[in-house]
Chains A and B, each alone.
Chain A
């Protein structure tokens, strides 16, 4: 059974969807881990809350960036590929 229709357009759309979905798995786990650890640490030592929060936001931005690397490649494939 041969594939018919516009394969290029279909694969572009598929790439965008796959990139967005797969690229969100790892960072999703990562961000949850970061904030879970932060909650744990603040529960142990509430007076360190301010310092820990700044490190948390730093970690959040670094981890979140990984989803955008994947999303970016999806956009490149969809709009330019």
Chain B
């Protein structure tokens, strides 16, 4: 078993290193890693539905989640859980208790828990697979056989995070209008017992903060993922560009950022996104006391 593990390690290392000999990019262009060119152009009138790198990663993460859950559940859930079943149960409990249970009032948990759990899983898996090198980079093909290995996070694209935040925005507005009524929701924005002169300012401020939730939710996830990947690319690029002895100093930096981002930031940002969505929905669903 130990021999197999050693050979697997060597094969993985070679698999990552050999493409470096096959393709050489003359310029260092970190921003080019995040460009999304259409692989399969699909246009429906004015709407661009092409399959590009971000769409591919999102489909991949959805596939991973669906296949994993289906295989574990349909395979028969046992009283003595297997490792995979354990992971699934822990994830479910985490989403149920730490995300939905903490933020949503009792009567809407059943309604909004699926949304929050899906949001958490989708963002988490998207963040996590972004640190696995896949042959999707926009450079030359390695020995004309397979694409260049590259890291890419679907959530490092503002369109993706804005779409997810927009769903949360619609969700909490839906819940707010449903609980308080259309005009009633705007009445809840201004607390009672505020002097007449101050009310327009407070109302305007609160209204703007409702929209700011949408912006901050999307930009937080986007900036975290983009900055994390760019830091890794810059640190690694620094080692290679400067070269020789000074360049070797960049390698521990790149390694530190890589481990820090993968272990901590990926999962944490997904948890924060789902938690804040839950807080907004839960706050809008609270009836007046």
Say whether A72 contacts B272, CB under 8 Å.
Answer: no
Min CB distance, A65 to chain B, in Å?
A: 4
The interface residues of chain A, by DSSP majority, are classed as helix
Say whether B227 contacts A68, CB under 8 Å.
Answer: yes
CA distance A71 to B224 in the complex (A): 10
Contact of B31 among A61, A64, A79 (CB under 8 A): A79
Say whether A75 contacts B216, CB under 8 Å.
Answer: no
Question: Which of A58, A68, A69 is most buried by chain B, counting CB atoms within 10 A of its CB?
Answer: A68
Using A54-B98, A79-B31 as known contacts, say yes or no to A61 and B272 having CB atoms under 8 A apart. yes
CA distance A64 to B224 in the complex (A): 9
Report A55-81 residues with CB < 8 Å from chain B CB: 57-58, 60-62, 64-65, 68-69, 71-72, 75, 79
B110 contacts the other chain (Cβ, under 8 Å)?
Answer: no
Say whether B226 contacts A72, CB under 8 Å.
Answer: yes
User: Which of chain B's residues have a CB closer than 8 A to the CB of A61?
Assistant: 220, 268-269, 271-272
CA distance A13 to B234 in the complex (A): 14
B65 contacts the other chain (Cβ, under 8 Å)?
Answer: no
Say whether A68 contacts B220, CB under 8 Å.
Answer: yes
Say whether A65 contacts B230, CB under 8 Å.
Answer: no
Contact of B223 among A57, A58, A68 (CB under 8 A): A68
Indicate the size class of the contact surface on chain B.
10 to 19
User: Which of chain B's residues have a CB closer than 8 A to the CB of A69?
Assistant: 219, 223
Say whether A75 contacts B268, CB under 8 Å.
Answer: no
User: Which of chain B's residues have a CB closer than 8 A to the CB of A65?
Assistant: 216, 219-220, 223-224
Contact of A72 among B98, B102, B219, B269 (CB under 8 A): B219
User: Which of chain A's residues have a CB closer than 8 A to the CB of B269?
Assistant: 61
User: Which of chain B's residues have a CB closer than 8 A to the CB of A60?
Assistant: 268
User: Which of chain A's residues have a CB closer than 8 A to the CB of B224?
Assistant: 64-65, 68
B275 contacts the other chain (Cβ, under 8 Å)?
Answer: yes
Say whether B272 contacts A58, CB under 8 Å.
Answer: yes
Say whether A71 contacts B227, CB under 8 Å.
Answer: yes
Report B98-128 residues with CB < 8 Å from chain A CB: 98, 102
User: Which of chain A's residues have a CB closer than 8 A to the CB of B272?
Assistant: 57-58, 61-62
CA distance A58 to B271 in the complex (A): 9
Say whether A71 contacts B223, CB under 8 Å.
Answer: yes
CA distance A68 to B223 in the complex (A): 6
User: Which of chain A's residues have a CB closer than 8 A to the CB of B275?
Assistant: 58
CA distance A27 to B188 in the complex (A): 31
Task: Give the nearest-CB partner of A51 in chain B.
Answer: B102
User: Which of chain B's residues have a CB closer than 8 A to the CB of A57?
Assistant: 268, 271-272
CA distance A61 to B123 in the complex (A): 15
Would you give 16 A-B contacts (Cβ < 8 Å), ordered by A?
Answer: A57-B272, A61-B268, A61-B271, A61-B272, A62-B220, A65-B216, A65-B223, A68-B224, A69-B219, A69-B223, A71-B227, A72-B219, A72-B223, A75-B227, A75-B230, A79-B31
- 17 more contacts with CB within 8 A, not counting A68-B224, A79-B31, are A58-B275, A61-B220, A61-B268, A61-B271, A61-B272, A62-B220, A64-B224, A65-B216, A65-B219, A68-B219, A68-B220, A68-B227, A69-B223, A72-B222, A72-B227, A75-B227, A75-B230
Q: List 4 A-B pairs, minimum CB-CB distance, nearest first.
A: A68-B223, A61-B272, A65-B220, A72-B223
